A = this chain, B = another copy of it.
């Protein structure tokens, strides 16, 4: 089982990318969706993982920034 975290902020770009991406993923990939607007306490965790903007998918040590919704600095 692979786990991934999808960080977003509820923005239109975030929602669209989520719908596109999550539909394509292997059913064995377990994705935790984290809305940083609702859970700002996890912004530091996202930054530590290398997230510069949302939406972004973190898998292991890899970060995939998907399109551009908002800079993480703007969520603080």
A residues near B, CB below 8 A?
2, 4, 16-17, 20-21, 23-27, 29, 59, 62-68
Contact = CB atoms under 8 A, between A and B. Distances in A.
B66 A65 contact: yes
Contact of A66 (B23, B27, B64): B64
Nearest to A19: B62
Contact of A26 (B2, B26, B59): B26
- Most chain B beta-carbon contacts within 10 A, residue among A16, A27, A65: A65
9 contacts: A2-B24, A20-B59, A20-B62, A20-B64, A24-B29, A25-B25, A64-B66, A65-B66, A66-B66
A64 B21 contact: yes
Contacts of A24: 2, 4, 25-26, 29, 59
